[in-house]
């Protein structure tokens, strides 16, 4: 009951600090008409998107590039075989049927697209045996139109792929996370229906510029979680009957330590009262049932235009790591939910039947009903519009927001794919020469292979000859070991390395 004690402790502390001497005081109702429009919303994400998107660009115009290559997978065949055969730019169409496999995509620009016939989807069936349904690490991956069920791990999991699109999938009764893009930049998660997930139905982890829009998530521990991520838009999702609806978190102890610039806008966050069935030790096991929106340590979160009703503990919560009492502290993670911003939201029937931990904390405040909005830290840099509309705790230092809408931000995704790294002196041939070839070839001294100088003299202006030999070497010199094939380098890289090898000089500085 460690976590219970922690939450009680947090709220009691708050009660002591806040309510003593102020009990019973309600915010005054202010009736006024603004004489001039409020300021426009600004954020670092807004600037990034504006710089990348000329006016008139279609919202969320990101697409996976295609080459025209088409591979069709029929029921009884293997999707992974198709992925293995595909080249970047391929579209893999998967016909309705049942596919019992883990699909992994370690190449760029692959569209994995289910074909829906008369309502029949291609089903990825984990049978309670397989780990994850779809893993991807390539950039520019689209996953759409699948029905994924009974996996032990995740439905769709990304590791560092940028420019991803995950849409129109059903993910039912599947493991830890339904959809989990991690360590990627620029992605869209939309129109998915996700339910029965032990942790977060949709979980954006350590990522930048991701839109989570038009999804339907229910019967999970956490509906949508934005964690250690920046520039994320969570909009127009229907989030109900989870333990907690929409979360913006810093999890301490991760290598990317910030969370911020998250817009939670125009969502339906309704009746998130599900029993918490998270795995012991997980962060979300701390969430009290009946939690609508929960912001832990994440900065610059804007909550706007949501319909937040029927969440039995609290509508919106801003808190620090005191909620995460089961995790080790991270001295490098800043715990406060800095600059919380609550614009106009529709809130009703929240807090009607608080979870026991919340009820106990409320009892210390002589309350029996949970608040619409609570700030357990008592931040002094927050803002809110029309606070008198809500039952609040801990918001007495909040001021009036200087903006009333974030409508000027249509998306936090970038219209063009994030490019591969741009390095000033990026020369694939040079990187391959020093990073690979140099293990055996030094310029003028004998190592495992003959000196580069010798090779230059032999091949002169024939880099293709080096590239071809490196792919299929034969023993040439009695006094040297046979060269191992370098076919792991693709043809372009081999040729670039060969060209560089022919022009490099001793101590050559570009």
Site for another protein in 11-70 (CB under 8 A): none
Q: What angle do CA 163, 187, 411 make, to 5 degrees?
A: 120
Task: Candidates 20, 51, 457, 474: give the one binding another protein (CB under 8 A).
Answer: 457
Q: Could you say whether residue 161 binds another protein (CB under 8 A)? A: yes
CA distance 207 to 253: 16
State the minimum distance, in angstroms, from the CB of residue 125 to another protein. Answer: 16
The residues with which 182 forms a beta bridge, in sequence order, are 159, 205
The answer to whether 125 and 103 are in contact (CB under 8 A) is no
Task: Write the binding mask 111 to 150 for another protein: x where contact by CB under 8 A, - elsewhere.
Answer: --------------------xx--x-xxx-----------
State the minimum distance, in angstroms, from the CB of residue 489 to another protein. Answer: 7
24 versus 331: smaller Cβ distance to another protein: 331
Q: Which of residues 405-424 bind another protein (CB under 8 A)?
A: 418-421, 423
CA distance 59 to 390: 33
Q: What angle do CA 35, 40, 46 make, to 5 degrees?
A: 175
Task: Write the binding mask 258 to 277 for another protein: x where contact by CB under 8 A, - elsewhere.
Answer: x-------------------
Contacting residues for 394 by C-beta, under 8 A, at least 6 apart: 14, 18, 318, 374, 375, 376, 377, 378
Q: Which of residues 192-231 bind another protein (CB under 8 A)?
A: 206-208
140 versus 292: smaller Cβ distance to another protein: 140
Task: Candidates 150, 265, 274, 430: give the one binding another protein (CB under 8 A).
Answer: 430
State the minimum distance, in angstroms, from the CB of residue 10 to another protein. Answer: 16
Contacting residues for 47 by C-beta, under 8 A, at least 6 apart: none
Task: Write the binding mask 325 to 364 for another protein: x where contact by CB under 8 A, - elsewhere.
Answer: -xxxxxx---------------------------------
CA 468 vs CA 21, 381, 439, 474, 491: distances in Å: 83, 64, 19, 11, 9
Nearest alpha carbon to residue 239 among 198, 263, 207, 273 = 273
Task: Candidates 31, 33, 55, 509: give the one binding another protein (CB under 8 A).
Answer: 509
By CB under 8 A, which span of 236-244, 289-297, 356-364, 427-435 interacts with another protein? 427-435
Q: Could you say whether residue 320 binds another protein (CB under 8 A)? A: no
State the minimum distance, in angstroms, from the CB of residue 400 to another protein. Answer: 33
Tokens of 62: 């990101």
Nearest alpha carbon to residue 251 among 296, 291, 209, 199 = 296
CA distance 212 to 227: 13
Task: Candidates 456, 465, 471, 473: give the one binding another protein (CB under 8 A).
Answer: 456
């Amino acid at each position: 009951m460690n976590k219970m004690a922690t939450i009680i402790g947090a709220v009691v502390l708050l009660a002591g600090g806040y309510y003593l001497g102020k009990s019973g005081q309600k915010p005054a109702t202010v009736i006024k008409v603004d004489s001039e429009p409020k300021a426009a919303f600004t954020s670092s994400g807004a600037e990034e998107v504006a710089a990348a998107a000329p006016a008139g660009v279609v919202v969320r115009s990101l697409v996976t590039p295609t080459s025209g290559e088409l591979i069709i997978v029929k029921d009884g065949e293997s999707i992974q075989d198709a992925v293995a055969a595909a080249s970047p730019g391929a579209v893999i169409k998967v016909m309705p049927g049942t596919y019992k496999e883990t699909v992994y995509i370690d190449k760029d620009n692959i569209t994995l697209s289910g074909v829906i016939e008369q309502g029949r989807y291609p089903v990825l069936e984990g049978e309670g045996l397989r780990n994850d349904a779809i893993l991807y690490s390539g950039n520019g991956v689209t996953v759409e139109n699948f029905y994924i069920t009974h996996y032990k791990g995740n439905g769709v999991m990304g590791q560092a792929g940028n420019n991803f699109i995950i849409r129109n999938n059903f993910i039912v009764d599947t493991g830890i996370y339904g959809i989990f893009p991690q360590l990627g930049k620029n992605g869209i998660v939309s129109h998915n229906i996700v339910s029965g997930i032990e942790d977060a139905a949709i979980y954006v982890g350590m990522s930048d510029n991701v839109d989570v829009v038009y999804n339907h998530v229910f019967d999970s521990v956490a509906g949508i979680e934005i964690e250690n991520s920046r520039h994320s838009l969570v909009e127009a999702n229907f989030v109900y009957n989870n333990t907690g609806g929409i979360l913006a978190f810093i999890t301490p102890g991760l290598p990317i330590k910030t969370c911020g610039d998250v817009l939670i806008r125009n969502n339906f966050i309704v009746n998130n009262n599900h029993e918490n069935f998270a795995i012991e030790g997980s962060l979300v096991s701390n969430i009290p049932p009946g939690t609508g929106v929960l912001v832990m340590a994440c900065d610059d979160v804007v909550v706007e235009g949501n319909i937040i009703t029927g969440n039995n503990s609290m509508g919106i919560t801003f808190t620090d790591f005191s909620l995460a009492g089961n995790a080790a502290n991270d001295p490098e993670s800043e715990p406060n939910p800095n600059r919380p911003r609550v614009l106009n939201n529709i809130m009703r029937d929240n807090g009607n039947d608080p979870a026991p931990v919340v009820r106990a904390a409320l009892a210390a405040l002589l309350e029996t009903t949970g608040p619409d909005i609570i700030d357990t830290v008592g931040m002094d840099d927050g803002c809110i519009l029309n606070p008198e509309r809500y039952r609040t705790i801990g918001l007495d230092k909040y001021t009036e927001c200087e903006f009333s809408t974030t409508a000027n931000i249509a998306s936090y995704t970038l219209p063009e794919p994030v490019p591969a790294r741009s390095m000033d002196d990026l020369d694939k041939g040079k990187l391959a020469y020093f990073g690979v070839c140099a293990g055996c070839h030094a310029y003028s001294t004998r190592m495992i292979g003959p000196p580069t100088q010798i090779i230059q003299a032999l091949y002169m202006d024939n880099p293709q000859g080096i590239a071809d030999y490196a792919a299929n070497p034969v023993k040439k010199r009695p006094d040297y070991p046979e060269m191992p094939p370098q076919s792991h380098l693709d043809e372009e890289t081999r040729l670039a390395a060969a060209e560089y090898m022919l022009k490099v000089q001793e101590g050559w500085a570009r």
